[in-house]
């Protein structure tokens, strides 16, 4: 075997051994096998060169040195790779708490509002927002509540000391009061759109009520309005039952009962089977098994006339839902005022 | 119940169960509730000897149904439910037998009083019999004496308010229905001296007002033990006038409650006849003379056309015509068939007590109520055009909520009205404030011109309840005389930026936590936020910036960020010395439009090269200017500039600061060479030296 052949053979053998290295120990033994000072194959090769022809010695020595550097570089690189994929020693206490990353919550009224919005969105409703400062026309008069109407007592109103610029869709008049309900959005939308109408309008409303467990001078409502040809009270029932069963529970029972609102005729109050006792009777439902949840009815023809719709051709329905009331029921909060304290001990109980 | 059963023939009990009557009182209560008269309570009531058990029903009557503010009104509804006959109670004929002289009545203002009926009766005042007093008590009306009790009994029974004057205390047998003189005074039955105005109607004798019409009688002509002859009044007063008067006088009575909702213009005669009968029946007196009816202009009855097909059209279910007409008839309507085919049409005469009915829909509601809402089917209305998207506000607000909750801010909702002082603390211009004319208290005197006062109060509320680290935001309207109602976003934070953790110590939040959140917010909208030193009310000078958003080609000043003035925080109740940082932005210009036109750029294919520069600069020089100089000098291959260290102290001259910036260079079409980057960096260094006398360290 010539010296050159021996060099090639070592190179091939090394390549095979290199591929078998899996641990630091393997690496050390391969290194010892090839580069060991006494037993190493490269050292042996150097020693065997003493027997080569003197003319060949410089070239062979050079080739052997190249081989040595190659092996060294390959092993060094291999060590780095081994180090990077190696597992660290020791352990950490995985039960220690993780770092508290910033994590805020949406307001519970926002959660309810967005749930309501998304259910109606799937039913094809457009979602609107309107101004909180309103004029008498949109808040009362166009809703069939002329001045001195006794129904205005049901909604004690905050008035502005002097008018301010009004806003929103539909006709713009100076605002003179804080809206007592979101129903003004019915008027604003119909003033600027032709039927069919399919909208909901959530927002804050204000009534001059002394605050207590169930009353707040500001609260959140969502208004719904659907107008078209051939729209019936059965459609109203079907839509609201569908909504309430998705919002609360598929087994929720729903009851419609005659009521009075100046802007709907016929009017109804809607009750659901008590979400706490399932209808058996408890303190929350005052042993009736039912909870009042919203008011609704067929749009009064006087409302259609106020916005220039033909009440012979179009029929429609509207509803108003108190977001706070639903939140009180759904989350069983005891006091409506807690929603406006913004106490983080309450807010942080709700999902993100 | 016994009273009700005097007026309507409905058997109650197992025998009567079925279409003819309810099996018990609870079932009757349910039936009334389901027809719109919510029975809120059924209280057992002691029955007369040998009589079946009695009960008191508490009913909630909606404002449109004044006719049901009486036992007879409810009897009529019960009659319609069970197809039972109801009938008026016993009355005395309107014309007295003796034909004695009576009283004279003049109505000076028939608009406010279209009808006034008066009659005399000789009385012997004393206590009422037990049965009558008990019925008043059941209705929460205090028995007074037999005469007054009879007037109240008639009101509860028939729904029509009455009054009795002591004839001897009047200036004569003459009643004048007239407006009050300006400043005219009257002492009402509750003993209060009241000053009247000409818009108020009075019942007067020839000398003075003796009653506030439809509201309350006067003390001067009050019926007492010495009374021998009374003038009985049953009249109809204009609802709006009664409502205005009782609002002005802040005096709401059982009478005004009924008149302002609308009494029955045809009821006064019935009421007088019933009262005269009762006086005799209980031995309290006897009628004298004829009943005088002053009714100058009786109105024509209202007739409404009802088309059978419209009932189904509105309700979504056909109701049998053979149900429609009899139900309306039992309720007091007079339907007359105008067309009798498969789609009948009726001309329905509306009784005078149904002040709520004037159109076809009102009649359809009557049919629907008695047909039963529970029997209507449930259907779902077809979509007849594609659903419309919500306005820009919705994706905007959703994005803000997502980003800020992700940055650790929780959402607050605070009241739209605040204290005037709190408003002025953040908004200098008092004339721009929107004040309420009837606030609940000084705490809500003005509409908020800014969300900050409410949000800061919420932060303080939490700080006072053991909470150290607070981050809040609110999205909402603010109100100004000048700008009107505009959408706004406010943020507030205090305490630790990183909560204490076992791996190390906490870090206190500072201004840069808030500017960082705002920068993140801007990035979420694809726009650029910049902060410029400035000052504004309520924020600490030197720690305040105006916030500018660059949206498309426009840069807009949208609000402020800074440290809240500690004196203000302490005035609002913040305990101790805690730094509070706040920001408020006008949301008007902010939309997600930037993303509507978004086209993704190719991901970089060539490596970047980083150069760090340490500069000694004047410490008053804003970092933004240094950044601008670097950007302008470096050329197009500079992709980012970032301040990585800022140091003052040993080794840095007084008044100077050592600022380290990291420049990242990259080209999209090639790998940059060291030489290219060095050239750009040299340009940057000399530009910095020239513009800011910056020295490389």
Model confidence pLDDT, tens digit, residues B676-685: 999 999 999 9
Chain A residues near residue B389 by CB distance under 8 angstroms: 126
CB B79 within 8 A of CB B97: no
Give me the residue label for tokens 């605070």.
B414
Residue A176's pLDDT is 94
Chain A residues near residue B373 by CB distance under 8 angstroms: 233, 237, 256-258, 266, 268
* pLDDT band at residue B534 under the 50/70/90 scheme: very high
Residue A1's pLDDT is 56
Give a yes or no: residue A45 inside a domain.
Answer: yes
* pLDDT band at residue B290 under the 50/70/90 scheme: confident
For B674, phi then psi, to 5°, come to -55, -40
CB B677 within 8 A of CB B662: no
Instruction: Quote the minimal CA–CA distance from A126 to chain B in Å.
Output: 5
Give me the residue label for tokens 């040195």.
A65
What is the mean pLDDT of the segment spanning B57-68? 94
Give a yes or no: residue A233 inside a domain.
Answer: yes
Do residues A282 and A321 both lie within one domain? Answer: yes
Nearest to B494 by CA among B423, B570, B426: B570
CB B665 within 8 A of CB B672: yes
What is the mean pLDDT of the segment spanning B435-464? 96
Query: Is the preceding peptide bond at B673 cis, omega within 30 degrees of 0?
Result: no
Task: Determine which of A134-143, B87-96, B407-416 has the lowest per-residue pLDDT on average.
Answer: B87-96
Compare B589 and A296 and report the one with higher pLDDT: A296
Do residues A337 and A234 both lie within one domain? Answer: yes
CA distance B509 to B581: 9
Judged by CB atoms closer than 8 Å, whether chains meet at B34 and A348 is answered as no
Tell me the pLDDT tens digit for each residue of B194-206: 999 999 999 999 9
pLDDT at residue B287 greater than cutoff 60:
yes
* Concatenated DSSP letters of A127-140: E----SEE-HHHHT
Summary mean pLDDT of chain B: 92
Chain B residues near residue A166 by CB distance under 8 angstroms: 484
Judged by CB atoms closer than 8 Å, whether chains meet at B378 and A238 is answered as yes
Give a yes or no: residue A280 inside a domain.
Answer: yes
* pLDDT band at residue B101 under the 50/70/90 scheme: low
Judged by CB atoms closer than 8 Å, whether chains meet at A260 and B62 is answered as yes
Whole-angstrom CA distances from A45 to A13, A58, A327, B196 are: 14, 14, 87, 130
Judged by CB atoms closer than 8 Å, whether chains meet at A267 and B365 is answered as yes
Residue B506's pLDDT is 79
- For chain A, the helix, strand and coil percentages under 3-state DSSP, each to the nearest 5: 40, 20, 40
**How do the domains of chain B map onto residue ranges?**
2-82, 104-294, 302-370, 393-595, 609-696
* pLDDT band at residue B517 under the 50/70/90 scheme: very high
Tell me the pLDDT tens digit for each residue of B298-350: 999 999 999 999 999 999 999 999 999 999 999 999 999 998 888 899 999 99
Judged by CB atoms closer than 8 Å, whether chains meet at A343 and B461 is answered as yes
Q: B2-82 has which CATH code?
A: 3.30.56.10
CA distance A29 to A187: 89
Strand partners of residue A267: A259, A297
CA-based nearest residue in chain A for residue B446:
A160
* A and B: number of Cβ contacts within 8 A: 258
CA-based nearest residue in chain B for residue A175:
B484
Interface test with A, best of B362, B378, B470, B472 (most A CBs within 10 A): B378
pLDDT at residue B595 greater than cutoff 90:
no
Judged by CB atoms closer than 8 Å, whether chains meet at A343 and B65 is answered as no
Do residues A260 and A294 both lie within one domain? Answer: yes
The CATH-assigned architecture of domain B302-370 is 2-Layer Sandwich (3.30)
Do residues A250 and A289 both lie within one domain? Answer: yes
For A28, phi then psi, to 5°, come to -60, -40
Give a yes or no: residue A208 inside a domain.
Answer: yes
Instruction: Quote the minimal CA–CA distance from B420 to chain A in Å.
Output: 13
Q: Which of B369, B444, B485 sits opposite A258 (nearest CB)?
A: B369
What is the mean pLDDT of the segment spanning B227-255? 94
Residue B20's pLDDT is 74
Cα-to-chain-centroid distance, residue B656: 60
Nearest to B621 by CA among B692, B685, B541: B692
Do residues A68 and A122 both lie within one domain? Answer: no
Report the DSSP pairing between strands B104-107 and B174-179. parallel
What is the mean pLDDT of the segment spanning B39-45? 91
CB B626 within 8 A of CB B661: yes
B358 three-class SS = coil
Give a yes or no: residue A94 inside a domain.
Answer: no
Do residues A50 and A154 both lie within one domain? Answer: no
Instruction: Quote the minimal CA–CA distance from B19 to chain A in Å.
Output: 20
CATH number of B393-595: 1.10.287.110, 3.40.640.10, 3.30.930.10, 3.90.79.10?
3.30.930.10
Interface test with A, best of B396, B403, B410 (most A CBs within 10 A): B410
Compare B16 and A116 and report the one with higher pLDDT: A116
CA distance B419 to B452: 12
pLDDT at residue B507 greater than cutoff 90:
no
Question: Cα(first)–Cα(last) distance of chain A, in Å?
Answer: 77
Instruction: Quote the minimal CA–CA distance from A274 to chain B in Å.
Output: 17
Do residues A47 and A187 both lie within one domain? Answer: no
Do residues A79 and A118 both lie within one domain? Answer: no
Residue B645's pLDDT is 93
H helices of B621-673, in order, are 623-634
Give me the residue label for tokens 């106020």.
A306
Q: CB atoms < 10 A from the CB of B386, how many?
A: 7
Largest CA distance in chain B: 129
Residue A19 makes CB contacts below 8 A (sequence gap 6+) with none
CB B91 within 8 A of CB B272: no
Give a yes or no: residue A100 inside a domain.
Answer: no
Q: Which of B260, B316, B393 sits opposite A235 (nearest CB)?
A: B316
Residue A22's pLDDT is 84
Chain B residues near residue A348 by CB distance under 8 angstroms: 410
Compare B290 and B541 and report the one with higher pLDDT: B541
Prediction ipTM score: 0.89
Do residues A178 and A287 both lie within one domain? Answer: yes
* Concatenated DSSP letters of A255-322: EEEEEEETTEEEEEEEEEE-TTTTTS--TTTTTSSEEEEEEEEEEPHHHHHHHT--TTT-EEEEEEEE
- Structure tokens that stand for B441 in this block: 């208290």
Give a yes or no: residue A308 inside a domain.
Answer: yes
Interface test with A, best of B381, B415, B467 (most A CBs within 10 A): B381
Number of domains composing chain A = 2
Q: What is the CATH number of the domain that holds A115?
A: 3.30.930.10
CB B284 within 8 A of CB B146: yes
pLDDT at residue B15 greater than cutoff 70:
no
Judged by CB atoms closer than 8 Å, whether chains meet at A104 and B408 is answered as yes
Chain A residues near residue B502 by CB distance under 8 angstroms: 96-97
Residue A324's pLDDT is 95
Do residues A172 and A217 both lie within one domain? Answer: yes
Interface test with A, best of B370, B413, B472, B500 (most A CBs within 10 A): B413
CB B216 within 8 A of CB B192: no
pLDDT at residue B38 greater than cutoff 80:
yes
Do residues A144 and A77 both lie within one domain? Answer: no
Residue B18's pLDDT is 58
Domain that holds residue A77: 3-84
Judged by CB atoms closer than 8 Å, whether chains meet at B315 and A235 is answered as no
Judged by CB atoms closer than 8 Å, whether chains meet at A133 and B447 is answered as yes
The fold adopted by the segment(s) B609-696 is Alpha-Beta Plaits (3.30.70)
Instruction: Tell me, yes or no, if the two domains B2-82 and B302-370 fold the same way.
Output: yes
pLDDT at residue B19 greater than cutoff 70:
no
- Structure tokens that stand for B129 in this block: 């019999």
Do residues A77 and A118 both lie within one domain? Answer: no
The fold adopted by the segment(s) B104-294 is Phenylalanyl-tRNA Synthetase; Chain B, domain 3 (3.50.40)
Chain A residues near residue B408 by CB distance under 8 angstroms: 101-104
Chain B residues near residue A114 by CB distance under 8 angstroms: 398
Chain B residues near residue A298 by CB distance under 8 angstroms: 314, 361
* pLDDT band at residue B138 under the 50/70/90 scheme: very high
Q: Which of A101, A164, A238 sits opposite B484 (nearest CB)?
A: A164
H helices of B447-500, in order, are 452-463
Whole-angstrom CA distances from B468 to A98, B279, B430, B496, B579 are: 20, 75, 34, 8, 11
Task: Determine which of A226-240, B84-98, B150-164, B602-616 has the lowest per-residue pLDDT on average.
Answer: B84-98
- The answer to whether the Cα torsion of B317, B322, B324, B330 is positive or negative is negative
Residue A92's pLDDT is 87
**B63 DSSP assignment:** T
Q: CB atoms < 10 A from the CB of A260, how many?
A: 22
CB B547 within 8 A of CB B565: no
Chunked mean pLDDT (size 10), chain A, 352 residues: 79 88 86 85 81 80 86 88 79 88 91 96 94 95 87 82 84 90 95 95 95 94 97 97 95 95 96 90 88 96 97 97 93 92 93 74
Residue B355's pLDDT is 94
CA distance B432 to B442: 18
Interface test with B, best of A94, A115, A161 (most B CBs within 10 A): A161
CB A45 within 8 A of CB A66: no
Domain boundary among A35, A51, A84: A84
């Amino acid at each position: 075997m010539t010296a050159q052949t021996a060099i090639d053979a070592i190179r091939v053998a090394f390549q095979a051994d290199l591929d078998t290295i899996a641990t630091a120990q393997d690496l050390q033994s391969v290194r010892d096998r090839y580069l060991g000072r006494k037993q190493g194959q490269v050292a042996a090769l150097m020693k065997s060169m003493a027997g080569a022809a003197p003319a060949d010695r410089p070239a062979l020595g050079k080739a052997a040195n190249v081989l040595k550097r190659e092996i060294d570089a390959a092993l060094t690189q291999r060590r780095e790779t081994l180090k990077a994929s190696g597992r660290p020693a020791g352990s950490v206490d995985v039960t220690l708490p993780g770092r508290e990353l910033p994590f805020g919550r949406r307001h519970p009224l926002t959660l309810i509002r967005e749930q309501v919005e998304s259910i109606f969105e799937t039913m094809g409703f457009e979602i609107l927002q309107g101004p909180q400062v309103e004029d008498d026309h949109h808040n009362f008069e166009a809703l069939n509540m002329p001045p001195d109407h006794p129904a205005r007592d049901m909604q004690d109103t905050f008035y502005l000391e002097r008018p301010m610029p009004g806003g929103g869709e539909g006709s713009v008049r100076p605002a003179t009061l804080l809206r007592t309900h979101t129903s003004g959005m019915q008027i604003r939308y119909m003033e600027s759109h032709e039927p069919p109408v399919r909208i909901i309008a959530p927002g804050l409303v204000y009534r001059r009520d002394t605050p207590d467990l169930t009353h707040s001078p500001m609260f959140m409502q969502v208004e719904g309005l659907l107008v078209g040809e051939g729209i019936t009270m059965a459609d109203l029932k079907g839509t609201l039952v569908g909504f309430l069963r998705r919002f609360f529970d598929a087994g929720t029972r729903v009851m419609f009962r005659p009521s009075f609102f100046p802007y709907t005729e016929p009017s109804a109050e809607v009750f659901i089977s008590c979400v706490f006792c399932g209808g058996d009777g408890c303190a929350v439902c005052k042993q009736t098994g039912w909870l009042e949840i919203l008011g609704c009815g067929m749009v009064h023809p006087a409302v259609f006339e106020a916005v220039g719709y033909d009440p012979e051709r179009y029929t429609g329905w509207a509803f108003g839902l108190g977001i706070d009331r639903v939140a009180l029921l759904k989350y069983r909060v005891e006091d409506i005022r807690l929603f406006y304290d913004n106490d983080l001990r309450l807010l942080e109980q709700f999902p993100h | 119940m016994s009273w009700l059963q005097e007026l309507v023939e409905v058997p109650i009990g197992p025998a009567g169960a079925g279409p003819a009557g309810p099996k018990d009182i609870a079932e009757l209560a349910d039936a009334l509730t389901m027809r719109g008269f919510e029975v809120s309570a059924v209280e057992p009531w002691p029955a007369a000897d040998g009589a079946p058990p009695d009960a008191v029903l508490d009913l909630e009557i909606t404002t449109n149904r004044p006719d049901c503010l009486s036992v007879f009104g409810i009897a009529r509804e019960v009659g319609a439910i069970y197809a039972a006959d109801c009938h008026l109670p016993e009355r005395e004929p309107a014309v007295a037998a003796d034909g004695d002289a009576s009283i004279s009545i003049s109505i000076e203002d028939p608009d406010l009083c279209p009808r006034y009926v008066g009659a005399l009766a000789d009385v012997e005042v004393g206590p009422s019999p037990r049965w009558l007093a008990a019925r008043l008590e059941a209705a929460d009306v205090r028995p007074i004496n037999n005469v007054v009790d009879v007037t109240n009994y008639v009101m509860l029974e028939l729904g029509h308010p009455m009054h009795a004057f002591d004839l001897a205390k009047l200036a004569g047998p003459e009643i004048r229905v007239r407006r009050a003189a300006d400043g005219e005074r009257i002492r009402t039955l509750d003993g209060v001296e009241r000053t009247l105005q000409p818009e108020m109607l009075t019942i007067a004798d020839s000398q003075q007002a003796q009653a506030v019409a439809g509201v309350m009688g006067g003390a001067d002509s009050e019926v007492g033990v010495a009374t021998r002859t009374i003038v009985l009044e049953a009249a109809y007063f204009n609802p709006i006038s009664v409502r205005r008067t009782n609002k002005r006088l802040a005096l709401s009575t059982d009478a005004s409650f009924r008149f302002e909702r609308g009494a029955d213009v045809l009821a006064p005669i019935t009421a007088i006849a019933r009262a005269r009968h009762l006086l005799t029946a209980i031995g309290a007196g006897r009628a004298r003379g004829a009943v005088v009816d002053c009714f100058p202009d009786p109105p024509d009855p209202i007739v409404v056309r009802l088309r059978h097909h419209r009932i189904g059209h509105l309700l979504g279910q056909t109701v049998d015509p053979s149900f429609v007409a009899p139900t309306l008839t039992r309720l007091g309507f007079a339907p007359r068939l105008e067309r009798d085919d498969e789609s009948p049409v009726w001309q329905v005469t509306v009784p005078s007590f149904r002040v709520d009915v004037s159109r076809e829909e009102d009649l359809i509601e009557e049919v629907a109520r008695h047909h039963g809402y529970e029997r209507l089917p449930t259907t779902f209305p077809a979509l007849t055009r594609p659903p419309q998207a919500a306005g820009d506000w919705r994706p905007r607000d959703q994005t803000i909520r997502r980003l800020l909750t992700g940055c650790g801010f929780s959402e607050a909702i605070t009241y739209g009205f605040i204290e005037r002082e709190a408003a002025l603390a953040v908004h200098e211009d008092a004339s721009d404030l929107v004040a309420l004319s009837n606030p609940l208290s000084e705490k809500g005197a003005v509409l908020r011109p800014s969300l900050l006062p409410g949000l800061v109060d919420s932060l303080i509320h939490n700080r006072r309840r053991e909470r150290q680290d607070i981050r809040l935001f609110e999205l909402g309207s603010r109100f100004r005389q000048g700008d009107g109602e505009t959408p706004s976003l406010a943020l507030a934070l205090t305490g630790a930026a990183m909560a204490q953790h076992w791996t190390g110590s906490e870090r206190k939040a500072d201004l840069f936590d808030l500017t960082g959140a705002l920068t993140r917010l801007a990035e979420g909208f694809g726009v650029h936020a910049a902060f410029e030193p400035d000052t504004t009310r309520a924020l600490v000078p030197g720690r305040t910036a105006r916030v500018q958003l660059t949206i498309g080609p426009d840069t807009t000043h949208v609000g402020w960020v800074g440290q809240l003035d500690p004196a203000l925080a302490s005035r609002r109740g913040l305990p101790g010395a805690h730094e509070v940082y706040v920001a408020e932005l006008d949301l008007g210009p902010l939309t997600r439009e930037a993303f509507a036109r978004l086209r993704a750029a190719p991901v970089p294919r060539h490596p970047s090269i980083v150069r760090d520069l340490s500069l000694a600069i004047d410490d008053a020089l804003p970092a933004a200017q240094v950044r601008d100089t670097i950007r302008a000098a470096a050329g197009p291959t500079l992709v980012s500039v970032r301040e990585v260290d800022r140091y003052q102290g040993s080794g840095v001259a007084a008044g100077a600061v050592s600022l380290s910036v990291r420049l990242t260079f990259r080209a999209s079409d090639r790998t940059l060479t060291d030489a290219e980057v060095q050239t750009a960096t040299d340009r940057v260094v000399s530009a910095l030296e020239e513009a800011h006398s910056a020295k490389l360290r």
